[in-house]
């Protein structure tokens, strides 16, 4: 790439990190406020996916490809947590 | 050239994720929030990891990125469906502007118990207080 004319390519990972961080903040507000427990589960699920995206953007920003392994693990654990919460909700609803 | 493609993919993916966060923050109803969170964030993470793969251009990194994307594309809809099912069964209130609720006879919300078995009964507006605009 040519220097001096347009260094959007160098800014891009930082911009992406900022945007995902803002999304994380909004999801966190929903996690705190959410009127019911399923609302909080949705916000937590979204935060897991956002963390995967944040790790990806950070891997590009710091040129560390090894950071993708934690992203894969986080995606897996996030799904398991969501499934566990959903089952717990359903069982609690039936029992009460 | 590939740097530019990677940059565009990164910013596009982050935009979709910001959209997902905005939807979760602003939409009035759990089910709308759920669809915003699931669809937009899945597409966003797909774009971001594609941008990572284009940036590094190594076989190992591409394999991991494709693995994560494939896993998320498989599991995100399943998780969203499970949450929606559980929330509906528990009786989370719908938005007051909702026009159809085809499963309302199977809903176990106490305030709708009188409408059981009556075809065409009006939808009882949610009584639980919500911070929806």
ipTM confidence: 0.85
- What is the domain extent for residue A51? 12-95
Per-residue pLDDT for B111 more than 50?
A: no
Mean pLDDT value across chain B? 82
**A17: which chain B residues are within 8 Å (Cβ-Cβ)?**
14
Rounded CA gap, B57 and B71, in Å? 21
B6 neighbourhood in chain A, CB within 8 Å: 9, 12, 60
Distance from the Cα of A5 to chain B's closest Cα (Å) equals: 13
Cα dist. A16→A12, A55, A63, B1 in Å?
6, 11, 15, 19
Report yes or no: A48 and B42 within 8 Å, Cβ to Cβ. Answer: no
Radius of gyration of chain B (CA): 20
In-domain check, residue A7 = no
CATH number of the domain to which A51 belongs: 1.10.287
Whether pLDDT at B61 is above 60? yes
DSSP-assigned letter for residue B94: P
Does A3 map to a domain?
Answer: no
Has residue A2 been placed in a domain? no
**Cβ-defined contact of A52 to B45 (cutoff 8 Å):** yes
Select from A56, A54, A58, A51 the least CA-distant residue to A81. Answer: A51
Question: Using CA atoms, how far apart are residues B55 and B62, in angstroms rounded to an integer?
Answer: 10
Structure tokens at A85: 């919460």
Distance CA B20, CA A34 (A): 16
Total of domains in chain A = 1
The answer to whether the CB atoms of B82 and A86 lie below 8 A apart is yes
Query: pLDDT tens, A23-44?
Result: 999 999 999 997 888 999 999 9
User: Cβ contacts (< 8 Å) between B15 and chain A: which residues?
Assistant: 19
In the block, which residue shows the tokens 């903040």?
A25
In chain A, which residue's Cα lies nearest the Cα of B10?
Answer: A16
Q: Which of A16, A37, A80 to mutate to test the interface with B (most CBs of B within 10 A)?
A: A16
Is pLDDT at B112 greater than 50 in this prediction?
no
| A28 located within any domain | yes
Give the residue with greater pLDDT, B14 vs B101. B14
Q: Could you tell me if residue A4 is inside a domain?
A: no
In a domain, A5, yes or no: no
Asked, for residue A47, whether it belongs to a domain, the answer is yes
Q: What's the pTM value of the predicted model, to 2 decimals?
A: 0.81
At B119, the pLDDT band (50, 70, 90 cuts) reads very low
Using the beta-carbon criterion (under 8 Å), do B86 and A89 form an inter-chain contact? yes
Nearest to A60 among B19, B51, B131 (CB): B51
Measured CA to CA, the distance from residue A78 to residue A75 in angstroms comes to 5
């Amino acid at each position: 790439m040519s220097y001096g004319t347009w260094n959007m390519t160098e800014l891009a990972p930082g911009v992406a990190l900022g945007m995902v961080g803002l999304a994380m903040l909004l999801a966190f507000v929903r996690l705190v406020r959410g009127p019911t427990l399923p609302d909080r589960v949705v916000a937590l699920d979204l935060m897991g996916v956002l963390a995967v995206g944040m790790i990806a953007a950070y891997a590009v920003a710091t040129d560390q490809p090894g950071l993708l392994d934690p992203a894969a693990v986080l995606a897996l654990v996030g799904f398991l947590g969501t499934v566990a919460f959903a089952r717990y909700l359903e069982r609690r609803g039936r029992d009460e | 050239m590939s740097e530019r493609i990677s940059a565009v993919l990164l910013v596009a993916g982050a935009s979709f994720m910001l959209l997902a966060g905005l939807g979760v923050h602003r939409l009035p109803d759990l089910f709308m929030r759920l669809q915003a969170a699931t669809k937009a964030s899945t597409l966003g993470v797909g774009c971001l990891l594609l941008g990572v793969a284009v940036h590094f251009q190594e076989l190992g990194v591409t394999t991991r990125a494709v693995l994560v994307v494939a896993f998320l594309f498989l599991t995100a809809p399943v998780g969203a469906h499970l949450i929606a099912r559980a929330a509906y069964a528990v009786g989370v209130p719908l938005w007051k502007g909702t026009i159809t609720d085809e499963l309302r006879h199977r809903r176990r919300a106490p305030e709708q118990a009188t409408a059981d078995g009556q075809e065409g009964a009006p939808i009882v507006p949610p009584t639980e207080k919500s911070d929806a605009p």
